[in-house]
Amino acid sequence: LLRPDIQIGGAILNLGSKMKFEQEEFNLPTRYKVGAAYLGHEKYFNGDFILSLDLVKPNDNDLKVHLGGEYTYKEKFTLRSGYQIGYDDKNISLGLGLKIKKYAIDYAFVPFSSDLGNSHRISVNLKL
């Protein structure tokens, strides 16, 4: 039986019959996903961490692998890192998070090797 610090999940996305637009029929872009995560606590640095692995198989493309890690210090400050295998123009990602009372601010950085350049994403969340 699995331990409570290990989580496993799976999903099938866009499962269904063919779509029709005017006279043209086409299949939905079905994706199969399975993932696992290990949740841990680090006593010396007073923080929690997550290590994760996802496998994604689109019906019209090759297998993609997503690896990730997150470390949260005192439930306030979070460092994140990820690596993706199977993509032409991206692989590594980095992120930061900060929680202040009911607010959470997150930042993510994803460099692209194509003409897209670098991606910066900032979000602000309010927990009611």
How crowded is residue 78: how many other Cβ atoms within 10 Å of its Cβ? Answer: 20
Between 38 and 27, the higher pLDDT residue: 38
The region that residue 115 occupies, defined by phi over 0 for left and psi between -120 and 50 for alpha, beta otherwise, is: alpha
- Structure confidence at residue 44 (pLDDT): 77
- pLDDT tens per residue across span 49-93: 999 999 999 988 899 999 999 999 988 999 999 999 998 888 999
Could you say which DSSP state residue 33 is in?
E
- Structure confidence at residue 63 (pLDDT): 95
- Per the CB < 8 A criterion, the answer to whether 102 and 128 are in contact is yes
